[in-house]
Structure 1
């Protein structure tokens, strides 16, 4: 599945993280460091699995239990962004 930032979202990277504004809903948020990293990976890679895999490798190292937890958390976070209309998931 391919991920794409919604056309309705204006965003920019700031010192605090990535700031998002959904022009249709008025939703504004600033992502923390981890959320910002996920956002930037979505912006550059656009596929769910590579985003989750890259982030889990960056933060978990060789710890399998932590790696699995990160994968779950990343998928949940991406799901929230999809539900909130910030990103869209499409068939590749």
Structure 2
């Protein structure tokens, strides 16, 4: 499945993280460092697997437990963004 940022979202990277504004719902939020990193990887790549792979390489190394935790956390975070209409997921 491919991911893309919704056309209804205006966003920018700031010193505090990534700030998002959903123009249709009025939802405004600023993502923390981890959320911002995931957002930028989605914006650059558009696929779940490369996002997880990149973060795993950065933070898990060969630690299997950490790899599983990253996979779970990233999937939950992306799923929440999809549910909130900030990211759209499409069949590739």
TM-score category of the 2 structures, normalised to the smaller one: over 0.9
Aligned residue in 2 for 1:70: 70
Give 1:53 shift.
Answer: 1.6
Give 1:78 shift.
Answer: 0.1
Aligned residue in 1 for 2:19: 19
Q: Distance in 1 between matches of 2:12 and 2:18?
A: 6
Give 1:59 shift.
Answer: 1.2
RMSD over aligned Cα atoms: 0.6
Map residues 18-37 of structure 1 onto 2, 5 A cutoff: 18-37=18-37
Gaps (5+ residues) in structure 2?
none
Q: Distance in 1 between matches of 2:85 and 2:56?
A: 24
Aligned residue in 2 for 1:83: 83
Range with bigger deviation, 6-15 or 58-67:
58-67
Moved over 3 A (4+): none
Count of paired positions: 92
SS of the aligned residue for 2:43 comes to: helix
